């Protein structure tokens, strides 16, 4: 989208002070007959990054991308992260950052509706908002939304799963919970993929709330009711441990094809051991970098792309150590 020439409040204050300084300088020169002209630079933009959850290497990679952009652009970046992926924890952190009057906020919303009110208030106060990974259900809030195309990626993963199981069999999707845009998009992609593959029988979508114990229980219950389960897709890296544990306990590790989104270190090890069939690797580093770049561009009054979709990479045991794949595995700075 094209920005409307916004100027940060910080720069406005600085410009006013600079103008006053010029008047004072002229007065001094007139009185004293001389003096040096001083070149004062603009104060750096203040940008707050609020990610999803501590201890998650996806968000660590996002932070690294944001830091890289901030360093290159000369802006001050404050990074805050809730302990858990929960809007009740994220909103107070966001409000605390907004109380500092930043020029922009980059956020990975943990809920598509709960974050609307505080972000609307932010934009009303003149704060530029960009989102990374997830979005809120109000397209007017963020000047730029940077994310994976989850629907297309999950459709692709479902097609790949069909190939791995010979085009037929029962398949299950495990998502985190409703209210997160990536999960809704992923479900839509899975449903479309199953519909396009007549040999697949969907066992539906189960939600684990990022709880490994719950993930494990879901898989164990599914194996009990449908011992001929052929394939599983999980939309989030933390689910992988629960899936693998249950498949091992049920003696089904070699019988069930398993595709998981993300590339946390534990998942990469599972992939190399053959416990995860393939990984759908997103690009959180790029999300953080682009979201900060677009926030700065908007502050500078430049044209900003509203809907930015980053692609995914499919990691297999054979290619995971290839530099063209391994460079996207999740890690912090």
**Residues 292-322: pLDDT tens digits?**
999 999 999 999 999 999 999 999 999 999 9
Give the pLDDT band (50/70/90) at residue 25: very low
- What region does 169 belong to: left with phi over 0, alpha with psi -120 to 50, or beta? left
Question: pLDDT exceeding 70 applies to what percent of the chain?
Answer: 88
CA distance 235 to 162: 17
CB 62 within 8 Å of CB 289: no
Give the pLDDT band (50/70/90) at residue 252: very high
Q: Is the pLDDT of residue 14 over 90?
A: no
Delimit the domains of the chain by residue range. 9-19+43-147+284-309, 150-281
Half-sphere exposure of 286 (CA within 13 A, CB side): 15
**Residues 51-107: pLDDT tens digits?**
999 999 999 999 999 999 999 999 999 999 999 999 999 999 999 999 999 999 999
Tokens encoding 154: 């999950």
Find out if CATH 3.40.50.2300 is the number for domain 150-281: yes
Tokens encoding 87: 């809007």
**Residues 190-244: pLDDT tens digits?**
999 999 999 999 999 999 999 999 999 999 999 999 999 999 999 999 999 999 9
CB 51 within 8 Å of CB 89: no
CB 87 within 8 Å of CB 116: no
CB 104 within 8 Å of CB 130: yes
Which architecture characterizes domain 9-19+43-147+284-309 according to CATH? 3-Layer(aba) Sandwich (3.40)
Tokens encoding 240: 């992988």
CB 171 within 8 Å of CB 201: yes
Tokens encoding 94: 């966001």
Give the pLDDT confidence score for residue 42 in this predicted structure. Answer: 79
Q: Is the pLDDT of residue 5 over 90?
A: no
* DSSP3 helix / strand / coil % (the chain, rounded to 5): 45, 20, 35
E strands, the chain, are: 46-50, 76-80, 104-107, 128-132, 144-148, 169-175, 200-207, 229-234, 257-261, 278-281, 307-310, 313-315
CB 146 within 8 Å of CB 287: yes
CA distance 241 to 222: 16
């Amino acid at each position: 989208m094209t920005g409307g020439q916004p100027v940060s409040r910080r720069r406005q204050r600085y410009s006013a002070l600079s103008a006053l300084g010029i008047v004072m300088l002229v007065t001094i020169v007139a009185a004293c007959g001389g003096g040096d002209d001083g070149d004062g630079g603009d104060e750096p933009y203040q940008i707050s990054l609020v990610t999803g959850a501590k201890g998650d290497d996806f968000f660590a990679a996002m932070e690294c991308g944001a830091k890289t952009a901030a360093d290159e652009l000369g802006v001050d970046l404050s990074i805050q992260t809730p302990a858990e992926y929960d809007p009740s924890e994220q909103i107070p952190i966001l409000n605390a950052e907004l109380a500092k009057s930043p020029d922009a906020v980059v956020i990975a919303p943990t809920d598509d509706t709960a974050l609307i009110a505080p972000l609307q208030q932010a934009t009303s106060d003149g704060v530029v908002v960009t989102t990374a990974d997830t979005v809120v259900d109000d397209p007017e809030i963020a000047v730029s939304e940077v994310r994976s195309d989850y629907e297309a990626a999950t459709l692709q993963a479902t097609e790949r799963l069909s190939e791995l199981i010979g085009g037929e069999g029962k398949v299950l999707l495990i998502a985190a919970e409703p209210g997160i845009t990536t999960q809704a998009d992923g479900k839509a992609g899975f449903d479309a993929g199953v519909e396009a593959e007549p040999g697949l029988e969907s066992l539906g979508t189960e939600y684990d709330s990022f709880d490994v114990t719950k993930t494990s229980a879901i898989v164990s219950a599914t194996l009990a009711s449908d011992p001929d389960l052929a394939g599983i897709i999980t939309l989030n890296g933390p689910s992988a441990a629960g899936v693998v544990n249950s498949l091992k306990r049920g003696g089904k590790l070699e019988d069930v094809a398993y595709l998981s989104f993300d590339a946390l270190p534990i998942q990469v090890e599972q992939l190399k051991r053959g416990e995860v069939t393939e990984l759908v690797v997103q690009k959180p580093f790029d999300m953080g970098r682009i979201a900060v770049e677009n926030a700065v561009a908007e502050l500078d009054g430049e044209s900003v792309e509203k809907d930015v979709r980053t692609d995914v990479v499919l990691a297999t045991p054979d290619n995971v150590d290839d530099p063209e794949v391994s460079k996207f595995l999740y890690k912090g700075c």
